[in-house]
Each structure stands twice: as structure tokens, then as C-alpha cells.
Amino acid sequence: MASLATGNRRLISCYSSLNVSPRLTEIFQTSYRELRPRAPVPPVHIRFYPFVSINNTIRLRQGELYVRLSDLLEGAPEPVLHAIAHILLAKLYRKPVDRTQSARYRRYVASHDISSKARLVRQMRGRKLIHSARGHYYHLEEIFEDLNRRFFHGLMGRPQLTWSQNHARNSLGHYDPAHNTIVISRIFDHSQVPRYVVEYIVFHEMLHLKHPVKLRGSRRCVHSAEFSAEEKMFPELEAATRFLKRIY
């Protein structure tokens, strides 16, 4: 979740679209009373919105609440909608978020049906910037094919590979399943970066392709036991992690 505050305007995002039923308004009013029992309930304006991803926002403007919910949640059960209302309002008014409500929301958006729809929506509405797999010093497609042969018997289908647009330092790389793309930070396309470091980062993202994120209870399992076991097979793992710790 993220927030943006400017003057008396606050924007809160809740990561998980226009006729809204009166019942949904009642759910938000009920959640408001639960969090702020002594305050009068302000007018609430709610609409479903075609976000690129599962995203929900709330804003306080001139004493009225404006809520936008992802259109993927239009058919969500009432308990899930109540959880969304609680999370958004708690964040807006800086109240503790109930763990049960948070877990209920995470379970729903991570379910196979919703996550599949979210992936499709990202493909249809989103746009992935693909620059080039060929860098000044390293070619990502060549590295991928070499790793594929060495560790995956050459059986892994090659996704799109690209260096990032900027020299991003906040992310080594990432695999985007919606666009089947591996993006590696351009900061590593440098003569002073050993090849095995780039290989390790690409190998790590290839494991994300092989081992998709799973839901265990209400938590997303990004690095499963199988993932971690295979990652240890990379020969220069320790040397690569030492290098990355020095520059980060």
C-alpha cells in the first residue's frame, strides 16, 4: 500500500472497476463507524474503475470520501468488500489495520480466479516497455540460452528479455508473468560487473518463471523451498551475493 498526501488531500492505495449498489455504500459507512464511532459519517462516493492492476484508492476531499475500486472486485463477496473498506479507511485515518481483514483481502486477490483475471487485464490494459536484450557489454538472450542449457536441459521457453530503461538501483531485476518478460537493471551492463553476477541475476529470475508465486494460507510464497534449493545450484552464488552486497 502507498499513500500520497498534499494539503488536505490524501490518496491511499490498496494492492490486491459503473453502477454501485447501495449495499456497498452501507459497507463503507459501517466500516467508518467501526473505526471512528464518534465522528459523523461523511458522504461516500464509490465507483468501480478499470485500473491496470488490482488497485483501490480512497481520497478525502472537502469533507467527502471518494473511493475507486478495481473493476475486478465488482463481484467480490461482502466480507471481502468489508475488508477493502476497512483497509482503505484505516490507512486514510492512520488507524491499525486488522490482521484478519488484511488476510481475507490477500487470500481473495491471490486466488487462482482473480489472479488469472488480473494477469489478463494487465496484458490487455498495460504496456510493457521493451528496450533491448543487447547491452553494451552483455547480451541477455545469450546469457539466458547458456543458463537454459546448463541448468534447465534447454527446456525452458525463452521469455522476452530486456535491460531496464534506466540505471535502476532499487531492483536487480524482475520477472513479469503478465507480459512474460525478464527485466534486468541496466546498472549491471558494465565492464566492471563480472559476467557471473549478471548470470546469477538472470538465473534467479528464470527460477521465478519456473516456480510461480504460490499462496500459503493468507501469505504469498515468492521463494519456495524448491526455488531456494535450485538457487543454491548456481556455482558462483556466494561470489555473486558478495559482489551485490558491496554495491548495495
d(CA 100, CA 14): 15
Q: Is-contact 89 32, C-beta < 8 A?
A: yes
The predicted-structure confidence for 110-153, as pLDDT tens digits, reads as follows 887 888 787 777 766 666 666 889 999 999 999 999 999 999 99
pLDDT band with cut points at 50, 70 and 90 for residue 16: very low
| pLDDT value at residue 6 | 33
* φ and ψ at residue 115, rounded to 5 degrees: -65, -35
The predicted-structure confidence for 95-104, as pLDDT tens digits, reads as follows 999 999 999 9
Same domain, 53 and 102: yes
Same domain, 199 and 171: yes
Same domain, 114 and 147: no
Same domain, 116 and 64: yes
Instruction: Please give the sequence-ordered ranges of beta strands (E in DSSP) within the chain, or none if there are none.
Output: 2-6, 9-15, 44-49, 55-61, 64-70, 160-163, 173-176, 181-184, 214-216, 219-221
Same domain, 206 and 235: yes
Same domain, 226 and 148: yes
Q: Is the pLDDT of residue 229 over 90?
A: yes
* Domain membership flag for residue 130: no
* Domain membership flag for residue 178: yes
Q: Which residue did the predictor score with more confidence, 160 or 1? A: 160
User: What domain range includes position 180?
Assistant: 140-247
